[in-house]
Structure 1
Amino acid sequence: MRILNDAPGEAAGGPALDIVVTRHDVVDDSTFRDSGVLDLYEELFPASERDDSDDIVRWVLSDDIGERRSFVVGGRRMSYRLDSRFFILRAVQRAIGFGFFTYDHASRLIFCNHVGVHRAWRGGGLARTFYREMVDMLGELFPRNIGVVLEVEPFDRDRLESIITDLERSGGRLLEAHEQATIRKFLRVGWYHKLGYSFFCDARTRQPLPCRSPCLDPSLPSSAWAGVEEDYWLMWHARNGVLRPAMKAGRLWQKTVTTIYIEILAKSLIEEDPRGRQAYWDYATALVTRTLQQTAATEVCLASYLGHDDSPLLSRWRRLAIDLPI
């Protein structure tokens, strides 16, 4: 357990906050569930964005525990080694925030699966303080890690500007659901930029590189897999003083895509049924290969995109003073 120093709630006379982590402070199924963190997870993320709760419990307590796991698919032996951790931010022993991360020992990359803080506790910079504390704890747990990567949902820049311009002209109005979705994507990017994250971008256009996630459910008919793929942009935050300056952004891009979609996603899904999921393995690896081929001739750089503090669009949005939690 770690006490969250200088927590906004404590400074204002509220309850002291602490952080506990699976397999260190939380070692069994009942303690994990009784914390209320899975209820909070379901409250903050729609069903389409959530992992199954039982799967999460299995991953963080028994499956992804830093041990090498091996399997044979198509006559070829493969292995992977993951360590998944759930951090729980608590007030009076109840979950008010969480972070779900997976460390891949082969690449030394940490993948940020989900982060969330209860809406009532988002003031005073608590979410940012909590996130930075988790990253420090990850550095202690995995001292060889080189940084954290995550997916964010793409948004259309022209559409975003059109929405903000219309709101300015109308003097304020109710946002349509699709408009709220676009603004939220933009604000999430801004939040991660504040934490020091950068996009993998095309150095010529300064646009984030597109990435496509395979279907997450191999049990679906193979004809349905392509229809449930998702488009993402990938963001990166280097661990201070660890990543060598000589590492090229293009090499890091290739490592990141392969780690997220092969080492963490595909291998864990295949290992559940190696004989029955040969077709899924072929599909997932082909999709990742296609992503890397499409960017093979691209000069890759790490850069911000719209969401940094001095972004004109972000300034215009703030002046509208619309309360839209992300």
Structure 2
Amino acid sequence: MRFPNDRHGEAAGEGPQPLDIVVTRRDVLDEASFRSTGVLDLYEELFPASERDSADDIVRWLLSDDVGERRHFSVGGCEMSYRLDSRCFILRAAGRAIGLGFFTYDHASDLIYCNHVGIGTAWRGGGLAHAFYRQMVGMLDALFPRNIGVVLEVEPFDRDRLEAIIADLERTGRRQLEADEQAELRRLLRVSWYDRLGYSVFCDARTMRPLACRSPCLDPSLLSSDWANGEESYWLMWQARTGAPSAEMRAGPLWHQATTAIYVEILAKSLVAADPIGRRFYWDYATALVARTLQLSATTDVHLARCLGDDDRQLLSRWRRLAIDLI
């Protein structure tokens, strides 16, 4: 597919180049052609190792496992199944990947899970990332007409920590940031980007603070005693599909549905189906962790709210006035 209105982009120091979007299992049909786009190199460039899945796993999910067919497996004599459809959207300039979007549609919940979205550093600015995202969502709606919206995880940011970082930069005039400071700022910037796209965050209506969601360890091959060390906390963000009948679903049931879709239907089932016997105890661990997350929020009045409050926006404005580039 050509980019909307046959738009042209340009990297730093280069002239205009034609852009197009290709999609796995529609335009990109096999592993060789997928790898030849350079999208896996871009993925490695954009995301730190701690956030990346293995390239082989990505290829398997996109081209053979998550292809919209129901998969069956048994854990401890209990028959289970799941049905996923994963797609990678690749934004190309002159045939080479400069942007990617990795999404998974869960047929059980009719939710689309956004795994990763990114644009090459040299191509950011000028609204290209937003245009790419909007185009992907339109294509997802065409591929999965029953979907009710998109859910994703973001790493929580610490408002007090950000206040301290930015205040120190303002006071001292220093331009170099430590790695942990850059990581904290990136969390704010990532949430800000999805906020501008119109996403909401699940929060406690009483405090208006985002609800924490605990992700199971992503590596079942580790010793079970190490699984807890591999867990991560996230906030879940949500964007309803425009005009979807369930767009007005109450936030509490939607929180339960989204958490189950991400961590049971997509994560746990995919990992356990690869080795149902060897990973039985991982299944028990992962599902118990999800159950605890849902139990902790069972009596919470869940609300959907804008991702950034006034205090967050003030911090963001102060950071932008510093005009410091993150490495």
TM-score interval (norm. to shorter): over 0.9
Task: Report Cα offsets for 1:118-144 as digits up to 9, x if no partner.
Answer: 100002111111011101100000010
Cross-structure match for 2:120: 118
CA distance in 2, matches of 1:164, 1:227: 30
Task: Report Cα offsets for 1:213-241 as digits up to 9, x if no partner.
Answer: 10111111111111111111111011001
1:84 pairs with one of 78, 83, 86: 86
CA distance in 2, matches of 1:153, 1:175: 19
Identity in percent: 71
CA distance in 1, matches of 2:322, 2:106: 42
CA distance in 2, matches of 1:229, 1:246: 32
Q: What letter corresponds to residue 110 of structure 2 in structure 1? A: R
Aligned residues: 324
Pairwise mapping of residues 305-320 of structure 1 onto structure 2 (< 5 A)?
305-306=307-308, 311-320=313-322
Cross-structure match for 1:9: 9
Pairwise mapping of residues 263-274 of structure 1 onto structure 2 (< 5 A)?
263-274=265-276
Work out whether residues 80 and 263 of structure 1, in 8 Å CA contact, stay in contact via their aligned partners in 2: yes
Cross-structure match for 1:101: 103
Task: Report Cα offsets for 1:172-221 as digits up to 9, x if no partner.
Answer: 43111111110110000000000111110111111110011101111111
Q: What letter corresponds to residue 79 of structure 1 in structure 2? A: S
The offset of 1:170, in angstroms, is 1.7
Cross-structure match for 1:254: 256
Cross-structure match for 1:165: 167
CA distance in 2, matches of 1:308, 1:195: 17
Q: What letter corresponds to residue 47 of structure 2 in structure 1? A: F
Cross-structure match for 2:293: 291
- Compute the TM-score of the two structures, normalised by the length of structure 2: 0.95
Work out whether residues 106 and 261 of structure 2, in 8 Å CA contact, stay in contact via their aligned partners in 1: yes
CA distance in 2, matches of 1:269, 1:258: 15
Residues 212 and 310 of structure 1, relative CA distance in 2, 3 Å threshold: closer
Cross-structure match for 1:204: 206
Q: Describe the SS at the equivalent of 2:193.
A: helix
The offset of 1:13, in angstroms, is 6.0
Q: Describe the SS at the equivalent of 1:26.
A: coil
Task: Report Cα offsets for 1:124-169 as digits up to 9, x if no partner.
Answer: 1111110111011000000100001111111111111111111111
Cross-structure match for 2:191: 189
1:176 pairs with one of 157, 175, 178: 178
**Structure 2: gaps of 5 or more residues:** none
Q: Describe the SS at the equivalent of 2:9.
A: helix
- Compute the TM-score of the two structures, normalised by the length of structure 1: 0.96
Cross-structure match for 1:139: 141
Work out whether residues 6 and 18 of structure 2, in 8 Å CA contact, stay in contact via their aligned partners in 1: no
CA distance in 2, matches of 1:309, 1:81: 41
The offset of 1:5, in angstroms, is 2.7
Q: What letter corresponds to residue 9 of structure 1 in structure 2? A: G
More moved, 93-102 vs 160-169: 160-169
Work out whether residues 70 and 80 of structure 1, in 8 Å CA contact, stay in contact via their aligned partners in 2: yes
Structure 1 stretches of 4+ moved >4 Å: 307-310
**Structure 1: gaps of 5 or more residues:** none
